[in-house]
Amino acid sequence: METNDQLKPLSFETEEVLKPLSFDFQNAPQTDFVPIAKTISNDIRNKDSNFVFFFGTAESGKSVILSSMLYYLRSYAGVLRPKLGTPNSKEANVLLSDFFENIRQGVLPNRTTRDQVTRLDLVFEPNNRSKRVVPVDLTFLETSGENHNDIRRGGSYHSSIETFLNANIPLTFIIVTSYETAYKDDSLINEFLDELERKGKNLKSVNAILVISKWDKSGRMDVESAEALDSFISDHLPMTSQRIDTYGLSKTYYTIGSIQNTTGSEKIDLLNLSTAEVLAKWLYRSIVGYDLDYEGTFWERLKFSFTN
């Protein structure tokens, strides 16, 4: 979808309440990560959810995006908890705690382990009281960037990833490339989209968004306008840009805030959750059909005015 609205500068101050945003939608492995066992079938337990699959090469920022989105949802938008009855409820709780504690301290997540799928089965309950802004089951899937390189030149994914891509489940795709390496990823992103089509997924109806991560590397925390983002994508990702325009896929940019590297490792010294808010709201709206900050029907607004 296209709109003539100008993007507003995004900023985040720790002492301010986040305001609703609008956006143009067009080194050792951690034992906290829960591997999905290798399987010879496409049978997946607990299919009753909305699956969110992260695609991106190594160090593209997938783990940072996932952890900051979850942090935003839990800190500002409602309650986020592990889904009962799923095989990794206990482990998911540990991983969520690590995510939230690390972000609070400005620590970036560790890289995901190769040949494993990080699966988080969660329930998100919005704090919006409208009956149309309903709780939603979310299953986040994240994989190592090295695994995505396996599909280059007609290669195949690891079986743990193939299981999800071949299954008949509702899938949302968050396709991540960074500001600094986007030009290198153009071909691979298109190979991934080709792979989805080979698996019978119609890109005209698939729920997907392109995310340009690490936008702070551009020297600013926002984009000057929607046209500026479009220009970056067409210049650095020309083939991907054509797919997005042809199929009407969504696009956005992402930053976690100001990053410093003073002791040999990067650390967040000023947290910015504005783009986490944008992406989280896009995800909810694309699944449920209503905005997280939907004001409610006339009667709901009238009722709320008497109860506040």
Buried b (16+ CB within 10 A) or exposed e, 231-252: ebbeebbeebbebbeeeebbbb
CATH of the domain at 241: 3.40.50.300
Please report whether residue 232 resides in a domain. yes
- Angstrom distance (rounded) from CA 120 to CA 141: 7
3-class secondary-structure state, position 145: helix
Please report whether residue 13 resides in a domain. no
What percent of the chain shows pLDDT beyond 90? 41
Please report whether residue 185 resides in a domain. yes
Q: What does the pLDDT look like over 130-150, one tens digit per residue?
A: 899 999 999 998 787 667 666
Lowest mean pLDDT among 81-85, 115-119, 168-172, 252-256: 115-119
Please report whether residue 96 resides in a domain. yes
* Domain encompassing residue 225: 50-307
Q: What is the mean pLDDT of residues 210-238?
A: 94
Q: What does the pLDDT look like over 27-40, one tens digit per residue?
A: 444 444 444 334 33
For 123, counting Cβ atoms within 10 Å of its Cβ (0-12 exposed, 13-18 middle, 19+ buried), the class is middle
Task: Looking at mean pLDDT, say which of 38-42, 137-141, 150-154, 165-169 comes out highest.
Answer: 137-141
**How far is C-alpha 275 from the chain's CA centre?**
10
Lowest mean pLDDT among 1-5, 63-67, 90-94, 183-187: 1-5
User: Under a CB-based contact definition with an 8 Å cutoff, are residues 83 and 121 in contact?
Assistant: yes
Please report whether residue 5 resides in a domain. no
Tell me the two tokens of residue 303: 């009722």
Number of domains, the chain: 1
Please report whether residue 38 resides in a domain. no
Entry pTM: 0.79
User: With 80 as the cut, is the pLDDT of residue 8 above it?
Assistant: no
Please report whether residue 217 resides in a domain. yes
Average pLDDT, the chain: 80
Please report whether residue 4 resides in a domain. no
Residue 209: φ, ψ to 5°: -145, 140
Report which of residues 36 and 160 the model is more confident about. 160
User: With 70 as the cut, is the pLDDT of residue 260 above it?
Assistant: yes
